[in-house]
Amino acid sequence: MKITLNKPLFFQGQGRRDYQQDRYRIDDNGRFFIVCDGMGGHEDGDIAAQTVCCALAVYFDTNPPENYIITTDYFDKAVLFAYNELDKKEKNPKSLLSMGTTMTCVYIGDNGVLVAHTGDSRVYQIRPKYYIPLNYQPSVIMETKDHSLVQELLDKGKITEQQAKSYPKRNIITKCMSANDERDMPDYNSNSVLDGDYFFLCTDGVLENISTECLCRVLAMKGTDDDKINKLFSYCEGKTSDNFTAVLIHITDGYLPPINLNSTVLNNPQIQQPSYDPEKTKSLINKISDYLERFKRR
pLDDT of residue 26: 98
Distance between CA 247 and CA 46 in Å, rounded? 18
Q: Tell me which residue of 70, 136, 80 sits closest to 107, measured CA to CA.
A: 70
pLDDT at 56 over 80: yes
Query: Does residue 77 sit within a domain?
Result: yes
**What CATH number does residue 118 fall under?**
3.60.40.10
Which residue range is the domain that position 205 belongs to? 3-265
| Residue 217 near residue 131, CB atoms below 8 Å | yes
Residues 6 or more apart whose Cβ sits within 8 Å of residue 187: 116, 117, 118, 144, 145, 147
pLDDT of residue 232: 98
Q: From start to end of 43-132, where are the E strands?
A: 100-101, 103-109, 112-118, 122-126
Query: Does residue 36 sit within a domain?
Result: yes
Average pLDDT over residues 62-90: 94
Query: Does residue 258 sit within a domain?
Result: yes
Query: Does residue 40 sit within a domain?
Result: yes
Confidence of residue 288 (pLDDT cuts 50, 70, 90): very low
pLDDT at 196 over 90: yes
Phi then psi for residue 165, to 5 deg, are -65, -30
Total number of domains constituting the chain = 1
| Residue 110 near residue 2, CB atoms below 8 Å | yes
| Residue 58 near residue 101, CB atoms below 8 Å | no
Residue 79 CA to its chain's centroid (Å)? 16
The per-residue pLDDT for range 150-163, each reduced to its tens digit, is: 777 877 787 777 67
Query: Does residue 295 sit within a domain?
Result: no
* β-strand pairing of 112-118 with 187-189: antiparallel
How far CA 199 is from CA of 114, 204, 215, in Å, comes to: 11, 16, 11
Distance between CA 229 and CA 233 in Å, rounded? 6
Query: Does residue 288 sit within a domain?
Result: no
Query: Does residue 273 sit within a domain?
Result: no
Q: Which residue has the higher pLDDT, 231 or 98?
A: 231
The per-residue pLDDT for range 112-126, each reduced to its tens digit, is: 999 999 999 999 999
Please report the sign of the dihedral spanned by the C-alpha atoms of residue 209, residue 213, residue 216, residue 221. Answer: negative
Query: Does residue 297 sit within a domain?
Result: no
pTM score: 0.84
